[in-house]
Structure 1
Amino acid sequence: MAAAGGGESAVASEAGALRALSTQLDATLVQLLVELEQLEGKRVALNARVEEGWFSLSKTRYAMGAKAVSPLQYSSSMTPFFRVCTSEPEPGRPEFEVIFTGTGSPKDGRPQESQGVSDYGEPESESQSPVLRRRPQPQGSPLQPTPPTPAAATSPERDPLTWFGILVPQSLRQAQGSFRAALLVAGEIAALQSRIEWGRAQIQALLQEKQKLLDQLKVA
């Protein structure tokens, strides 16, 4: 009788574990389906942003000329405005995040050189007007504009839009914004794909564990 009671308790314990495992499996599967739907939406958004960027860039080349908007205008020294950060909250589950590291926000296309400069080249405080000042000139001498330093003219951190001129068409700014948005969406897609692969691996592991419990219940 004691052996029978022990066997029944073991079966009940395995049945409870099976129910808990099935619940976890269902929740993981639902989460996977939600992430797959999100991935499809992100891919559509990415394609739309890229198409918008190329369309705006085509409008700019039509307005300024093909030679005025080409790789020939690229700066000789560049620094990326975006970087990809990776983390691993759980073993085998990498996460990706695209971070904007340039001046201003991704929606702000103003170059860094637009910040104010004081009399002796020091940055102005926020209370001062963001205009360029000149050194005091001797009385009677004509005012001479201060030429930009070579370092400022070729700064790799300046807005890439300045490669194509000072007053660029609005379509070029729109193209820049579209491609920046596409980069951020691409980072979200990479993170979603990583979570989906991890979710698929979890479902496979849970299915194997569930099959083992079913086999044990059949033997019992």
Structure 2
Amino acid sequence: MTQLEDVSEKLDKNLLEFFDVLGQVYQEQAKLEQYMKDGYLNLSRARYTMGVKSVSATQLPDEMDPLLTVVVNGEKEDSEFQFQKTSIKSSKDTVKDDTVRKRNVKEQHSDGDSPVVETIGTAGDSSDDAKDKSSSEKPRRVDPLKWFGVLVPQTLRRSQSSFQEASSLAVTIANLKLKLGNLQKEYQELYAEKQNLLSDKS
């Protein structure tokens, strides 16, 4: 196989892969559109059930920690987006080391008249250290559904699920579009190489 034939074959493979990835982009975008529609529809149903004021921006906390994070790996053409979920901790969760209590018993005097004094504190921490530690701790991440009450309707849960799926699909589509850009760049390089070979041959 000559060099010209080899480049032509690579061009054909590149073009086939490009249209294959393009088809995947259209499919994922259709899914994304459906998830967004379902999310907003269920959200409107939840607002109708609970009341407009019960499901609104006024229920949002002043400070929010993200439960979903997008991480970029690689550099430039080799970069890729990855989707990471942060675990949700319940308000009942406690750290055992922080809740262990110890009892310090002072010794009685030799005369035996003084009563025994007991002090209860956090194991390994003084009262000041415990305060500093509690103040420096970040608030636990909670399920955003808790912002709107304890017993929320299923429509609000389905809305949250739809938007989470939409977020994941958005990352998938972004990766596919990055791949499309790389394939397009590779095609242009191969096409320019083929034109040079044709000009040299002529």
- Of residues 87, 91, 96 in structure 2, which corresponds to 1:102? 87
Instruction: Give the match's secondary structure for 1:84.
Output: strand
Q: Which amino acid aligns with 1:94?
A: S
Distance of 1:162 and 1:48 partners within structure 2: 26
Distance of 1:22 and 1:48 partners within structure 2: 40
Contact 2:91 2:140 in 1 (8 A): no
Matched, 1:88 2:74: yes
RMSD: 2.3
Contact 2:54 2:148 in 1 (8 A): yes
Q: Which amino acid aligns with 2:55?
A: V
Q: Gaps spanning 5+ residues in structure 2: where?
A: 101-133
Instruction: Give the match's secondary structure for 1:67.
Output: coil
Matched, 1:38 2:24: yes
TM-score, normalising length: structure 2: 0.75
Partner residue, 2:90: 112
Contact 1:77 1:156 in 2 (8 A): no
Distance of 1:217 and 1:170 partners within structure 2: 69
TM-score, normalising length: structure 1: 0.69
Partner residue, 1:69: 55
What's the % identity of the aligned pairs?
Answer: 32
Shift of 1:23: 1.2
- Of residues 45, 59, 71 in structure 2, which corresponds to 1:59? 45
Shift of 1:16: 0.9
Aligned residues: 166
Contact 2:68 2:86 in 1 (8 A): yes
Map 1:1-220 → 2, pairs under 5 A: 16-88=2-74, 92-103=77-88, 112-113=90-91, 115=93, 121=99, 155-218=139-202
Instruction: Give the match's secondary structure for 2:81.
Output: strand
Contact 1:86 1:96 in 2 (8 A): yes
Instruction: Give the match's secondary structure for 1:68.
Output: coil
Q: Which amino acid aligns with 2:170?
A: A
Runs of 4+, deviation exceeding 3 Å: 114-118
Shift of 1:115: 4.5
Shift of 1:24: 1.1
Q: Which amino acid aligns with 1:84?
A: V
